[in-house]
Structure 1
Amino acid sequence: MKKLLLLSLIGFASSSFAQTVNDVPLKDIEVDYVQIIGTGRSLSTKVNVEIDFGQETKSISFKNGTNIKDERGRNMKFNSMMDALNFMSANGYSFQFAYTMNDEKDKAIYYILKKNK
């Protein structure tokens, strides 16, 4: 009985954490619009996804902190931008429009999303 209680408490505690950006739970971000930025990762089919909701970032930091982190605090990895879009939709955001930017080194796709009310 004690083992069952302990396992259920651990399960409840692990499910009570949410995905975060800058340590803010994704569902608690108090903005109307967000931008997700997808860039390809070298030698991988997965994409790096960052989120911009107008937060302040540290200009000196090598890590900008805009990556979506899972319950364990690790950067989430998405199979594609559609995977990221489905994830954001499940977290209360709807797609508005998309655009791409290409420069000499990088190619990035930007999705503008609106928070559902």
Structure 2
Amino acid sequence: MKKLFILYFLSFVSYSFAQTVNDVPIRDIDVDYVQIIGTGRSLSTKVNVEIDFGQETKSISFKNGTNIKDERGRNMKFNSMMDALNFMSANGYSFQFAYTMNDEKDKAVYYILKKNK
């Protein structure tokens, strides 16, 4: 019983540190480039961050698969785009370039990142 508990604990600990997008751990995304998109939240200083690595998304879905999820499956919250960039750097990506897009309602910041090999 003690061995079973230790095995369960070790598997839980290894899983609990995995941040995911579309249920894929960020470190295991098998692409060379990703794009992170930051948009402001209403009435908050934090930013919404989504990631695009060319994954298939469902056109009719109530669950957004492009958000970065924490180990509990909840959307991660970032203080700023620099916070998100530091997070991605810690997960094996390096900054390439950035650009912004403004429309009547929203302002979005796009960062292009390259996976370190």
TM more than 0.5: yes
Q: Deviations over 1:13-41 (max 9, x none)?
A: 13433000000000000000000000000
Matched, 1:47 2:61: no
Structure 1 gaps of 5+ residues are none
Q: Determine the structure 2 residue equivalent to 1:10.
A: 9
RMSD of aligned C-alpha atoms? 1.9
Matched, 1:66 2:66: yes
Could you tell me whether the CA contact under 8 Å between 1:68 and 1:76 is conserved in 2? yes
Percent sequence identity is 86
Q: Which amino acid aligns with 1:14?
A: V
Q: Which TM-score applies when normalising by structure 1?
A: 0.89
Q: Deviations over 1:72-111 (max 9, x none)?
A: 1000000000000000000000000000000011100000
Q: Which TM-score applies when normalising by structure 2?
A: 0.89
Rounded to whole Å, the distance in 2 between the matches of 1:7 and 1:86 is 33
Matched, 1:107 2:107: yes
Rounded to whole Å, the distance in 2 between the matches of 1:59 and 1:87 is 28
Rounded to whole Å, the distance in 2 between the matches of 1:48 and 1:89 is 18
- SS state at 2:60 partner: coil
Rounded to whole Å, the distance in 2 between the matches of 1:40 and 1:99 is 15
- Give aligned pairs, total: 115
1:7 deviates by: 8.0
Q: Which amino acid aligns with 1:13?
A: F
Structure 2 gaps of 5+ residues are none
Q: Which amino acid aligns with 1:105?
A: K
* Distance verdict in 2 for CA 1:14–1:58, change over 3 Å: same
Rounded to whole Å, the distance in 1 between the matches of 2:11 and 2:58 is 34
